[in-house]
Amino acid sequence: MQLSTRQRQILVLLSEGRSNKEIARELGTSPRTVDSHLQRLYARNGVNSRVALVVKWLKAEPAAGED
């Protein structure tokens, strides 16, 4: 899964169970911007929920220490 630095940051925080508002606060942006990133990620990955997006991302990421 090709991700920008910001998208990766959002996915990490999302995987921790953070809300859009909490993610926005952490990254110094607005909840609407976070939602915009998520909507694009949903569309690009053919999913329609936060859980499905995180699951797909985790499956695509190599495990720590693997290359």
13-26, pLDDT tens digit by residue?
A: 999 999 999 999 99
pLDDT at 67 (0 to 100): 47
What pTM value is reported for the model?
0.83
The pLDDT, as a whole number, for residue 1 is 73
Answer whether 21's CB lies under 8 Å from 31's CB.
yes
Q: What are the domain boundaries of the chain?
A: 5-60
Q: Hunting for tokens 């290359």 — which residue is that?
A: 67
Q: At a CB cut-off of 8 Å and minimum separation 6, what does 34 contact?
A: 10, 20, 23, 24, 27
Are 53 and 35 spatial neighbours (Cβ–Cβ below 8 Å)? no
> CATH assignment of 5-60, given 2.40.110.10, 1.10.10.10, 3.30.460.80, 2.60.40.1120?
1.10.10.10
